[in-house]
Structure 1
């Protein structure tokens, strides 16, 4: 019986033990919650107390700033009254009553003095509202003459008034106070007439200018920058905490500190504790309700989010124009989106589950694609690297694509396959071909337009070598005639010289014609390594042709040691010619020396060095309004221009991987420059 009872009590004891464990766990959770609430209450009380302390300090700072503004306005009004005294009183008899009236109005003034331009006293009067200062045998109330001279010199330098440093003036009876002198310049136009000296009482300044609202709740004092107290107004207030506010009171020639001290009661703790307690309990109640509601809604929310995510994914897949293809680690297709199916012409059932070779692989590239996929599946290829390829539609047509693949990572962080994005490049390639053909047509049109402009110059330029050839030929015939005796002094060397001049002039004419012929002739756009000097010399005859007509000097700086440029030389020659012609046209109407400079040099680049070609002119320069539209197609400032020259030049340079830019040249003119890659 006892054994049966013991055996029957074991499950009950185990259940009670489990219940006690669960109860202990719940009490621990409630203990943590109570601890969090207690910490929040303490933080709230501390924050509320600090907020009230900061608010008291802000009020004191605001009062201090307002008091400083009132003092500045009062000093400005007194300076105006002093100007009025200087302008209305021209003699000592008129000055004394007016000065006495000002002393009666401004009780913070202790003394007024009127001095001439040499700082000699003309008149002086003391305020009748203050006790007399000690005589000269002790410490006189008057400021030393050296300080007077320095203060008035500072006022004269500032063109108005200047304040001297404060000093302590002793009075009869063993008392004294801090005073401060002001020196104001009196002048008529640029003529110096004299000075007005005012002695301020710092304590009287605070008493006269500050309303009782500033001194009833706190004390106001002037102190030096090092903290030495000079004058105090208002009584010290007692409190559990002392609040201090300091404001630098900057005057011309002197700087003081306006200090306010207020004794305030510290904020009450009990209201803050009650507010924090109610807030903490509310937070605890809301937290418990939120936890309970979250437990009930967790499953429904998860199901709703899953359905929404699936619907969003489906809508996104159907709206994409980019083909998506997923493969597992063995290379089998596990997923394709509608855009990929429309791209290759196969249905999803025909693609999913297919391995190597894929149905959209061209048969002639199947082996190559198989090797590439093996490299990808082995993990040797870098992820997210675009690769161009060719796919085959179901009808057998080929089309170019760009494939970007990234690894598929499961929620457990395991690599489960590859996701590829496939872009159809057919439209892009077609647009590139159309753009390339359009650029070539524009280049050809620009070359023909340039030849048309050069035709009139060629007719004039070719007349000179042809006329020279005719003259040398006639002279040679005269030297070789048989019927008469040769002219005196004629030798075979003269004939040779004439024939050499004929050959030279014929070569000159040939260079001009060949340059125009090369410019018009449409050659294949193939890039090659070209010496920079060869590019310059190819367009130099045409440039010099126009330069001689306009009276422009052409200078070329191109060292022979420069490396070769990797470019299509016909296009670069067209760019050089356009920039040179624009520079010469900019100098056509400019007086003075006109110089066109063609320069080639090395230009540093982040990855590899480049060559910099520079075309500089001494024209009028380019304005800011024109500069903003300089490279805009069909924008031109010339009546006969088409506005395509600089736009085509920039396009050509950018196709070569360089950049075309311009900058002003000192003292006048513009510098156009572009860069080209150096041939490997």
Structure 2
């Protein structure tokens, strides 16, 4: 007995049974509403899942690209850092020899020439004394005459002089940037915003005398464009738009891509649609920033087309379901009004004291009202579908009533009606008067005969 009760309890606890009980407790109107709204909700959930899937895949793709850009930029920054440190070490060795008087101006010029020839990013190496006077200078052949430092000149007031003073005060190498005032062209076909100023990177390495006091600097100038070309790996230059920026974010070397505007920029979770990364270049610091941007690629037409196709079909399906739901609601409202009208007419018919009977074109009873049933004593289900001879005809009057029925069916009507005898179900007889008229439908077609009995 206990096992049977447990089985019944488990059966009652099944989700399907719970669902059925809940569904049966709802009224028909609410059931229709749920049945109409459930498909719409399913389509909207499907569309939401599709949108979320595309969003997630897009975020993953951008994250992978961003991680790749970050990795390549950090690797390039290390290469630039090592290259700058190697040149700095060579310049510091040259400055140490000059401070110790191990070399004279002639030997300095020879070694400076060797440095300039071996390192394409170095365009000038000069010896400046403590009076800011240039004692020796070696410049690369590619440097314009107007940009060369001439022996005997004095440093002009500006960034170079400021860096000179800073190196004197700190007694350690100082990096700075000097603008020569000319323009270098950026990426082919780029706008004016991609034009870079020709900037040189200066390194001021202090010299000391025998007492350890400041005795001038060895000044080295780097061509930033050459530093970018030879310091960054070739495969990264081909893969990205690589550029060098100053502390204010202005382009000083390389090429850049204008900011891109995409619909994905307005989607939550996607913060950097341009896929770029930048990092300061040490030992220069924040004054020199290395940035890489991914090149613009053509949109994934297949993926985008599939996304918009699925979205359009989902929205179309939802729109059609909503239209169908509204149409169903209108039909339900019309049906409700029709039912109210039918119930009202049924109440009127049942309240009449006159018996009503309807025959089809073949003489079969298709309708009787409550008064007719009460007069004859027969139930509605006993009369509907009956054909002559009808059960309420007296046996002795059947031949006469059959003749009268045939006359009615042929269209012969008596305006004042005619009197007949009617037999109740309990076999009692009463006299009644019948009035016959054609039964016309809404299309104007006769569908039978209507008889009233009083």
Normalised by the size of structure 2, how large is the TM-score?
0.47
Flag the structure with more relative contact order, 1 or 2, with Cα contacts below 8 A and sequence separation at least 6: 2
Normalised by the size of structure 1, how large is the TM-score?
0.33
